[in-house]
Chain A
Amino acid sequence: MKSLIWLPFLPLLGTLIPLITSRLSRTACAFLTAVLPALTLFLVLSHTEAIFHGERFFASIPWVPAIGLQLAFRLDGLALLFSILILGIGLLVILYARYYLSAKDSIGKFYAYLILFMFAMLGVVLSDNLIQLWFFWELTSISSFLLISFWGDKSEARKGARMALTVTGAGGLALLAGLILLGHTVGSYSLQTVLNSGDMIKASSAYPIILVLVLLGAFTKSAQFPFHFWLPNAMAAPTPVSAYLHSATMVKAGIFLMARFYPALADTDLWFMLVSLTGLATFLTGAYIALFQHDLKGLLAYSTISHLGLMTLLLGMGTDLAAVAALFHVINHAIFKASLFMAAGIIDHESGSRDMRQLNGLWKFMPYTATLAMVASASMAGVPLMNGFLSKEMFFTETLHQASLGSLSWMVPVLATLGGIFSVAYSMRFIHDVFFNGNPINLPKTPHEPPRYMRVPVEILVALCLLVGIFPSVMVGNLLYAAASATLNGSVPSYSLAIWHGVNFPLLMSIIAMCGGLIVYANRQHLFKFQAQFPTSDPKLVFESVIQSINQRASQFIALTENGSLQRYAFLTLLLAVVMTTIPLMRLNATAGLRPEIPVDALSITAAVLLCLSGLATVIWHRRRLLSLLTLSVVGLIVSLAFAKFSAPDLALTQLSVEVVTVILLILALFFLPQKTPKESSPRRVVRDLSLAAFVGGTVGTICYALMTRPLDTISTFFTENSKTGGGGTNVVNVILVDFRGFDTLGEITVLGIAALGIYKLIARMRLYMPSGDYQGRPWAEDKHPILLAVISQSLLPLALLVSAYIFLRGHNLPGGGFIAGLITSVAIIQQYVAHGVEWVKTRIKLDYQIMIGSGIAIATLSGLGSWLFNRPFLTTWFDYFSLPLIGKFELASAMVFDLGVYLTVVGATMLILANLGKLTTSERPTQQEHE
């Protein structure tokens, strides 16, 4: 079933299409955009027959199997139901948006966001892996942020988008925590496994935490009380977005989540209390507030909140029939609410206002649209023959059949009827206040019917309202059964989708709701007056002030801890590091281990004393910079001698040549920096720093000693054993570099190249004061390039290059190699710069160091890629022995090509740094070249 993998990804591909085709006409763009979602819908529908027969489809691609991550999709009844809603309504919205957006809106961008959202949403409903589900969940938040802020020049759009993202994003984080905990409890992130281990989850001690966290995610997304405030503010989005995201799909994601995890999490007292009471509160609050909205979209937004509450309440009741009713209402609500939003959008589009105080008597101007809106509105109110009636009837039935509140259970049907009354009242207001009730007041435009095709989506949806309302089992019977069977994990109770169940209690409740709603609406003036007594608070302002106070606290805290002093940060970091290391060190019983020490000899003592003295001298004279540099180089020299002494000839050679370039570099830098450091540390600070330094040094020395006196269980025997036979070289260090760990070396020379290029960019355009004399005011020597130095260095160049070639060639078998040879070559070239100046060298050595770095890395990479030609892993080496007359037997190894890459990179990088830094002192400054 690999085609399943394509289902969500076809829309992802589809996000590109509107961006590419936005230059074509709007119609063409809309049409092409619709192709891939339509294809996806077709693919989904091709599975329906099998799913109705009880099949489920799974497809997965392993990703990181070790930690249970895989790209896993499933298509069962619930996913099918939501996929059809997402894709079907999505297609209608694409058509609708084509007419809704004005010419100045970028339709390509809009469609791209919309399809991105569609992709995310499909991903949520089709996921069979917890983490993957969460990923798509957050993607819906982000894409909805982009859609809400589509008109980003409006402040309310930005604020609304930010609020939606904050609330749903925070909920998403809670969900992530919940899902991780869930996966941890079950031992698998596979959704199917989780759904099958419901009893185990409910019995585990983590269940309450998991439930609360998962529900936080669902409630924030589905705008449940008290997180409902973001949804009305998201109405700043273009109306197609509201119709799609905030009625039919995104807000349903929370409902979907609860339905999806129904077998795993539901059916406990805690579930009932949390879900059903939240749902009930949301249902009532939303219905009540909706009546008082003057904005058409505001009314619909609160009505959406109310209906979401209804679905949540149903899911919370815990009975199987209630879950069926909830799913049925998901379908019905999506159909009528999408059509209502579209109708509201048409009214806004064609009359220029959404304020119901201005909109009156539109029946005369747009009778056709009015009829459609009235039918949808009647469905929202729950009038018989409409789909809304059926699910509302099921809802009333279920409120009567639950007994979880004990003796207070009678309250649920009463409150449900109360909510029903307000639903009827606000639906009535939508019909009467907009299409009748006198004449329009101060409308910016004269209202008229919309373009023909803008109405088509509404017509389709309204037709569905009626069809589902009249022939429920024919239209959605199978789909609902499949979805319910997926939600309930198999056992679907018997229910009947009929319009007429005889005269019974639910019908009575419906009649009470109808009559009550009409009475409430007729007396709305009193209610409006009553409501006007309350101080109005704008959730946007409250939210913004909360966010800003959090920001303020954060900046106060930052000001407290971060004062911008690097010295303080370094001090604290080191202090923490040393404290962290001291604790385990104190647990170590003896400093010295069992390994016998090497006996001390006089030469080593002398070297060590010299090392310590020059180290101390560097510190003591650190304010006299040139002097401290000289003592520093003594330290470096002795370090390289130490390497030589302790059997590391490669290191000694490297250290020695690096020492030369480092000192040249620092002297060049010193030319542009102050020659002396002012005395500015307070005595207290000096003591503080000295103590910390001594502390760090003592710790490091102790660890070093403890380490060295303990026996070593090394992994290096592998390298020494295989160096000759596997890598073809006797110098194990070099073979490790170019062969065993060649990939590391490749990374390292890349870093080297990047650092050099970064330095080059820093040097360019640098404007520095160039001192005309030394720190005592003496002018620089007239004779910049003494003839003696010039002659000697010139004759040394071929010798040095020869040495470097020798070191390079023998590297595989004896101390040497690309790194060292590269450094020696660099030193040889630098010497020419020093002796002759930039001008002289420029005319003679024509090397582009940047190209050298690039070709070095390229050669190294290609030599690694070459092994692919022989079906070997990256960087596998090859070697063989040949013999030629005169030269004798010699070895050729592909590792030498790699080493050549290393060599070129090292030369290029070193020279790019030093030559350009040196050029700063001359008229060849890169700064001037760039400006000329």
Chain B
Amino acid sequence: MEGIYAFSVGLLTACGVFLTLRGRSFSVVVGLTLLSYAVNLFLFASGRLKLNAAAVLGRSEQYSDPLPQALVLTAIVIGFAMTAFVVILAMRARADLGNDHVDGQVPKPKTPILQKGNTSHKTGGGQ
């Protein structure tokens, strides 16, 4: 079971990282959300996996570690607040800057041929 769990955490991390590295704010927000799932699962797993052992006294023979659970619980709520903050920031950036690129401006595509760049420079004066 631990192997599957670890694999899933790793995969979620990878997905999250890839999306975080994208250039548009919404992808980054989605990536961060995925990443926070992975982080929460990871932190939770530091208390080790146990079946049928909820940390409620008197309900089971042994108890799972309550400390990581308490940490993760607040992390989930704060994570929500942070996701909200980032997504609103992204909206605000789009409203104020006119695009949703993380750098605040859409990078100009590199002109592959130098000649083309030169001509556009000459004729582009009036634009």
Q: Which of B5, B21, B63 contacts A567 (CB 8 A)?
A: B21
User: Which residues of chain A are near B106, meaning CB under 8 Å?
Assistant: 680
Q: Would you call A646 and B51 a contact (CB within 8 A)?
A: yes
Contact (A597, B92) CB under 8 Å given A700-B38, A733-B69: no
Nearest B-chain residue to A719, judged by Cβ: B66
Q: Would you call A622 and B57 a contact (CB within 8 A)?
A: no
Q: Would you call B54 and A673 a contact (CB within 8 A)?
A: no
Contact (A642, B41) CB under 8 Å given A658-B76, A696-B17, A755-B84: yes
Q: Would you call A716 and B65 a contact (CB within 8 A)?
A: yes
| Residue in B2, B10, B38, B77 with the greatest tally of chain A CB atoms within 10 Å | B77
A515 interface contact, C-beta 8 A: no
Q: Which of A619, A708, A913 contacts B18 (CB 8 A)?
A: A619
User: Which residues of chain B are near A636, meaning CB under 8 Å?
Assistant: 33, 37
**Which segment of A219-227, A376-384, A436-444, A761-769 sits at the interface?**
A761-769
Contact (A608, B8) CB under 8 Å given A570-B21, A618-B30: yes
Q: How many angstroms from the CA of A669 to the CA of B28 in the assembled complex?
A: 13
Q: Would you call B11 and A716 a contact (CB within 8 A)?
A: no
Q: Would you call A762 and B88 a contact (CB within 8 A)?
A: yes
Q: By DSSP majority rule, is chain A's interface helix, strand, loop, or mixed?
A: helix
Q: Would you call A766 and B92 a contact (CB within 8 A)?
A: yes
**How close is B20's CB to chain A, nearest CB, in angstroms?**
6
Q: Would you call B51 and A661 a contact (CB within 8 A)?
A: no
A611 interface contact, C-beta 8 A: yes
Q: Would you call A616 and B65 a contact (CB within 8 A)?
A: no
Q: Would you call B10 and A702 a contact (CB within 8 A)?
A: yes
Q: How many angstroms from the CA of A3 to the CA of B83 in the assembled complex?
A: 54
Q: Would you call A605 and B4 a contact (CB within 8 A)?
A: yes
**Which segment of A265-273, A505-513, A737-745 sits at the interface?**
A737-745
Q: How many angstroms from the CA of A585 to the CA of B56 in the assembled complex?
A: 35
User: Which residues of chain A are near B58, meaning CB under 8 Å?
Assistant: 730
Q: Which of A598, A647, A696, A768 contacts B14 (CB 8 A)?
A: A696
Contact (A751, B21) CB under 8 Å given A622-B27, A669-B88: no
Q: How many angstroms from the CA of A372 to the CA of B55 in the assembled complex?
A: 88
A917 interface contact, C-beta 8 A: yes
Q: Residue-by-residue, is A686-702 near B (CB-CB < 8 Å gives 1, otherwise 0)?
A: 00011011101110111
Q: Would you call A909 and B100 a contact (CB within 8 A)?
A: no
Q: Would you call B51 and A651 a contact (CB within 8 A)?
A: no
Q: Would you call B95 and A767 a contact (CB within 8 A)?
A: yes
Q: Would you call A714 and B67 a contact (CB within 8 A)?
A: yes
Q: How many angstroms from the CA of A689 to the CA of B70 in the assembled complex?
A: 34
Q: Would you call A647 and B50 a contact (CB within 8 A)?
A: yes
Q: Would you call A813 and B56 a contact (CB within 8 A)?
A: yes
Q: Which of B11, B29, B52, B74 contacts A697 (CB 8 A)?
A: B11
Q: Would you call A716 and B85 a contact (CB within 8 A)?
A: no
Q: Would you call A570 and B56 a contact (CB within 8 A)?
A: no
**How close is A707's CB to chain B, nearest CB, in angstroms?**
6
Contact (A723, B19) CB under 8 Å given A598-B2, A608-B8, A632-B33: no
Within 8 A of B (CB), among A75-120: none
| Residue in A649, A670, A704, A737 with the greatest tally of chain B CB atoms within 10 Å | A704
User: Which residues of chain B are near A649, meaning CB under 8 Å?
Assistant: 54, 56
Nearest A-chain residue to B18, judged by Cβ: A693
Q: By DSSP majority rule, is chain B's interface helix, strand, loop, or mixed?
A: helix
Q: Which of B19, B24, B63 contacts A732 (CB 8 A)?
A: B63
Q: Would you call A612 and B55 a contact (CB within 8 A)?
A: no
Give the interface size class of chain B: 35 or more
User: Which residues of chain A are near B82, meaning CB under 8 Å?
Assistant: 755
**How close is A724's CB to chain B, nearest CB, in angstroms?**
6
Q: Would you call B70 and A693 a contact (CB within 8 A)?
A: no
**How close is A758's CB to chain B, nearest CB, in angstroms?**
6
A645 interface contact, C-beta 8 A: yes
**How close is B85's CB to chain A, nearest CB, in angstroms?**
5
Q: Would you call B78 and A673 a contact (CB within 8 A)?
A: no
Q: Which of A597, A622, A763 contacts B1 (CB 8 A)?
A: A597
| Residue in A564, A642, A647 with the greatest tally of chain B CB atoms within 10 Å | A647
Q: Would you call A622 and B64 a contact (CB within 8 A)?
A: no
Q: How many angstroms from the CA of A707 to the CA of B3 in the assembled complex?
A: 11
Q: Would you call B22 and A704 a contact (CB within 8 A)?
A: no
User: Which residues of chain A are near B38, meaning CB under 8 Å?
Assistant: 700
Q: Would you call A677 and B22 a contact (CB within 8 A)?
A: yes
User: Which residues of chain A are near B45, meaning CB under 8 Å?
Assistant: 704, 707-708
**How close is A210's CB to chain B, nearest CB, in angstroms?**
45
Q: Residue-by-residue, is B40-63 near A (CB-CB < 8 Å gives 1, otherwise 0)?
A: 111011111111111111111001
**How close is A749's CB to chain B, nearest CB, in angstroms?**
8
Q: Residue-by-residue, is A706-725 near B (CB-CB < 8 Å gives 1, otherwise 0)?
A: 01110010111001100110
Identify the A interface with B (CB < 8 A). 564-567, 570-571, 574, 595, 597-600, 604-605, 608, 611-612, 615-616, 618-619, 622, 625, 628-629, 632, 635-636, 639, 642-643, 645-651, 654-655, 658, 661-662, 665-666, 669-670, 672-674, 677-678, 680-681, 689-690, 692-694, 696-698, 700-705, 707-709, 712, 714-716, 719-720, 723-724, 730-733, 736-737, 741, 744-745, 748, 751-752, 755-756, 758-759, 762-763, 766-768, 813-815, 819, 823, 906, 909-910, 913, 917
Could you give 5 example pairs across A and B, Cβ below 8 Å? A566-B103, A648-B55, A705-B2, A716-B66, A756-B84
Other A-B pairs beyond A651-B72, A669-B90, 9, CB < 8 Å: A598-B1, A608-B4, A636-B33, A649-B54, A693-B13, A697-B11, A704-B6, A767-B95, A768-B91
Identify the B interface with A (CB < 8 A). 1-15, 17-27, 29-30, 33-34, 37-38, 40-42, 44-60, 63-67, 69-70, 72-74, 76-85, 87-92, 94-95, 100, 102-103, 106-107
